[in-house]
Amino acid sequence: MKDVNYVTIKEGDTDLIVPPYQDGKGPKGVGNGVFFNPAMELNRDISVSFLRGWSAGGKRILDGMSASGARGVRIADETEAEEVVMLDLSKEAVELIKKNIENTDVEAKVKQESIESHMLNNRYKYDYVDIDPFGTPIPFYPLAARFVSRGGVVAVTATDTAVLCGTYKQKCVRRYSSVPKNNWCCHELGLRILIGYCVREAARYGRGAVPLLSYYDGHHFRTYLEINESAADADKALAQLNKYDFSRYSWEEGNEAGPLWAGSLFDANLISRLEPVGTLDEELIDTWISESSLPPFFYDTNVLSSFLVKSPPRLKKIIKALQRAGRPTSQTHFSPTGFKTEADSKTVVDVFKGL
């Protein structure tokens, strides 16, 4: 490994040695045989905050697809994890991870091994398993859900957003056994389809998967799933899967989407314990908290404006008007022009017209 080809950056409280890259959003290519995506900094910041809030002390952590080691090294450096193990199939990646471990002076291990073989040989060892692939997590999730420790967490990233959001409908049906819909709610739909798949897959092994924190950001979906071990847990989770007909919105005759996760995307107690880390700020945490108790899916001011042929009022004005009408309402992280509410579509339209 040639040191001259690598650069040092700071993420959170950790100095990292990574391949050179150009700023910008979206996935990056492989540098020096090692993948590093600077656009996933928020993703990694949230991992650190989640593990602190979830209480990573005494927890055994597996970073199943480590690449440069940025996530695993940060977890070892910035949380109280008991053990951190990082995996990658690339020899170059393993060498860089070792260098990052040495440079950061943290206690962590790295192995040149696939997550599939490692989970098979280390059943129920890990309390937290992180799956962050390029594309779909489907090839890697089942064994993690099957063999994470009882009550443990599997964190799943999906970057095949075009599939989950309905641009490639049949591919989503084949891959996730669910019908997407490419409308204004497609990002929440895609996330809920991903969670629905994860719930069904865990249930095959008599395990119940429940999301503790789930979100969409730019080019990826992310969910942290608690895996509980009983047929009753599996049945309880499966009972929260449903199809969704967008005809409830008076301006769209909907065909059904799903099946998908219809329960909450967040565990309110856990997200209330989250603290800002790096690019994860209080505003985003507060938005998650405020929308956590509201029903699935949201209204969009631009869609309403187009349907009613009316200039949209300011989002905050709509939210306050619905709240005054006694309908809990909140902004949503899925869209800067979206809001979640317990109000039905008729109430929303009436309030919108009156502003």
* Residues 6 or more apart whose Cβ sits within 8 Å of residue 308: 349, 352, 353
- DSSP run (H or E) holding 339: strand 335-341
pLDDT tens profile 76-122:
999 999 999 999 999 999 999 999 999 999 999 999 999 999 999 99
pLDDT tens profile 177-235:
999 999 999 999 999 999 999 999 999 999 999 999 999 998 999 999 999 999 999 99
- DSSP assignment of 107-168 equals --EEES--HHHHHHHSTT--SEEEE--SS-STTTHHHHHHHSPTTEEEEEEE--HHHHTTTT
The pLDDT of residue 1:
47
Whether the per-residue pLDDT at 305 is higher than 80: the answer is yes
Confidence bin at 21 (pLDDT 50/70/90): confident
Mean pLDDT of 338-344: 95
- DSSP run (H or E) holding 261: strand 256-261
Confidence bin at 251 (pLDDT 50/70/90): low
